[in-house]
Amino acid sequence: RTVQLADRATDGPAIGAAANALGLAQLAQGDPAAALRTFRHALGAFPRSTRPADHAMVKANLALAHEQAGDLARARLAARQSLGVPGAAAPVRAQAQDLLRAHPGDPASDLWWVLDQEGPGAAAAVFRDELLRVAELDAAQRTSVMSEVLDGLLQRPGSGSDFAEGLIAILLELPPTTYALVVTAIVGAVAGRSEQEADQLRGIVGSALVRFAMPQWQRLAASLNGAAEATGQPATWR
């Protein structure tokens, strides 16, 4: 009832607060499926860019709902993304950290498990919060995570470009500073690979790039080539 009233009033913070409280009640009742729907509704009312602390709180609660549903890969993914939000409150961070300690897992394996379950058509939605999380890491960690993402593209020869399309779609939406950090991490993740593997990755990304409007793919290709030249790599992104 409270959520419906807030929705009618189009009061974003009230919608989010009411939906988050309802989701917690649904969790307490042992109904994770309903809680997942409700927490996703709450996330829509708490954008990461404008209400980061609230967004982190709901993400941590979403992780609990996935945990209760037995979907540990998604639970860990949501918990890490909650921890990656600057300004997340201490209790929220503690809740997410507790979940990760209780259910250890590999970040790349979790990400690609979810991507494979969702399919290439949903890749952009999966990558969105993950790229924002990656941008908050230090340079070495960013490069390491992007290297694992690129490994996943290589390991999916039949669908690598389709997943890369989702990655690029989100990359092109990022604010300039975040965009530059991720582009640099992608180029850094190619450095040190064999020439054959590097060419394969450029081909996978290039095949996805041409699916976008010319100004978009030219912008990203130029950014990748600029970052490559700055580190002494060949400027052969296309």
Residue 192 pLDDT class (50, 70, 90 cuts): confident
Find where tokens 């540990």 sit. Answer: 72
- Tell me: pLDDT of 6 over 50: no
Mean pLDDT of the chain: 92
Which of 203, 135, 229 is CA-nearest to residue 173? 135
Q: Tell me what the mean pLDDT of segment 81-89 comes to.
A: 95
Query: Residues near 235 by Cβ (< 8 Å), separated by ≥ 6?
Result: 225, 226, 228, 229
Find where tokens 């997942």 sit. Answer: 36
CB atoms within 10 A of CB 212: 16
pLDDT of amino acid 11: 57
Q: How far apart are CA 113 and CA 92, in angstroms?
A: 25
Q: Alpha carbon 98 to chain centroid distance?
A: 21
The rounded radius of gyration (Å) of the Cα atoms in the chain is: 19
Proportion of the chain above pLDDT 90, given as a percent: 85
pTM (whole model) above 0.85: yes
Largest CA distance in the chain: 60
Q: Alpha carbon 230 to chain centroid distance?
A: 27
pLDDT of amino acid 9: 44
Residue 15 pLDDT class (50, 70, 90 cuts): confident
**Which phi and psi angles does 157 have, rounded to 5°?**
-60, -30
pLDDT of amino acid 74: 98
Which of 36, 35, 145 is CA-nearest to residue 84? 145
Q: Are 186 and 148 in contact (CB under 8 A)?
A: no
Find where tokens 């593997």 sit. Answer: 197
- Tell me: pLDDT of 8 over 50: no
pLDDT of amino acid 220: 95
User: Per-residue pLDDT tens for 91-149?
Assistant: 999 999 999 999 999 999 999 999 999 999 999 999 999 999 999 999 999 999 999 99
